[in-house]
Amino acid sequence: MKIESVNSVYRALFAVTFVHNAYAMPNYNFFSQGMSIKPDEKTAALFRDLRIDYRFYNDTLICVLGCKPANPPAPEPKTPAKQIADPTVLRFLLKCRDDFFDKTYTVATEKKVYQFSNTIDNVAGNVFLTAPVESFAAANSYDAGTIVKNGGKLYSAVKPVAVGSAIADITHWKKLTVVEQVVNNADLQDEAAVQPDEKCFGVIDIHKVGTTNNIYKILNAADALIQPPASFIIKFLSKF
């Protein structure tokens, strides 16, 4: 009987940290109590086949990959134990508790979902998976809870906003803080376009190829793991 040796180890492929002041305590972050994360059905199957696993605890999602030396006996660099095809997208589904919306400036609707991806380019001190904050346009309509920017400030729609509304209309808009990179209207997409396989608040799509900025890559041009691994941020604006 032939016995195959297993010489692969697990290394971090990427990490996503969630920033939300309402869940942050001096010595502990309990964001994971407000949000659950899991791979969708297709991604879960890929994980089983490609020796990929994930963990979500406190405020951080970490994805790890079974890997092996690219040029043994040299220990580095390391490549995936099983080749990851081009293109491959790893999708995670985000689901939140009802009280998440009480703490957060976000939209709660069954017709739209948030989509976060490493194919955008929004590096502002951190590497964000959220798109740059969208500028207010009177020609657009907006869902209650969404965030836009105008004149160096963030604004949140306090109720659905019809085309033609002015940002100065305090019955529809609330002025918040100075502009910072947070989950905003640019991240909000029609559910029919995103097509999650379950009802959810949002998705995180991590692409192997198709990034517009090398800092968003999870593997280098030789398909070797990047050290240190990619580290992304999703920041929510707290109501507190």
Residues 102 and 19 in one domain: yes
Identify whether 50 is part of a domain.
yes
| Separation between Cα atoms, residue 60 and residue 44, nearest integer Å | 19
Full residue range of the structural domain in which residue 138 is found: 134-179
**pLDDT band, very low/low/confident/very high, at 4 (cuts 50, 70, 90):** very low
Residues 123 and 222 in one domain: yes
Residues 75 and 164 in one domain: no
Q: Which of 235, 197, 234 is nearest to 89 (CA)?
A: 197
Identify whether 2 is part of a domain.
no
Identify whether 124 is part of a domain.
yes
Identify whether 198 is part of a domain.
yes
Residues 203 and 95 in one domain: yes
pLDDT tens digits for range 185-240: 999 999 999 999 999 999 999 999 999 999 999 999 999 999 999 999 999 999 99
Tell whether the torsion through CA atoms of 81, 85, 88 and 91 is positive or negative: negative
Identify whether 163 is part of a domain.
yes
CATH number of the domain that residue 158 is part of: 2.10.10.90
The answer, yes or no, to whether residue 98 has pLDDT greater than 90, is no
Q: Per the structure, how many domains does the chain have? A: 2
Identify whether 31 is part of a domain.
yes
Residues 117 and 143 in one domain: no
pLDDT tens digits for range 26-72: 889 999 999 999 999 999 999 999 999 999 999 999 999 999 999 99
Residues 35-73 as b or e (16 or more Cβ within 10 Å = b)? bebebbeebeebbeebbbebebeebebbbbbbbebbeee
Residues 92 and 21 in one domain: yes
- Give the residue from 144, 161, 179 where a domain finishes: 179
Identify whether 3 is part of a domain.
no
Task: Quote the strand ranges of 70-210, DSSP E.
Answer: 78-80, 89-96, 112-117, 147-150, 153-157, 173-178, 188-190, 202-207
CA dist 137 to 107, 141, 167, 236, Å?
Answer: 18, 9, 9, 22
Other beta carbons less than 10 A from residue 8's beta carbon: 17
Q: pTM to 2 decimals?
A: 0.94
The DSSP call for residue 104 is B
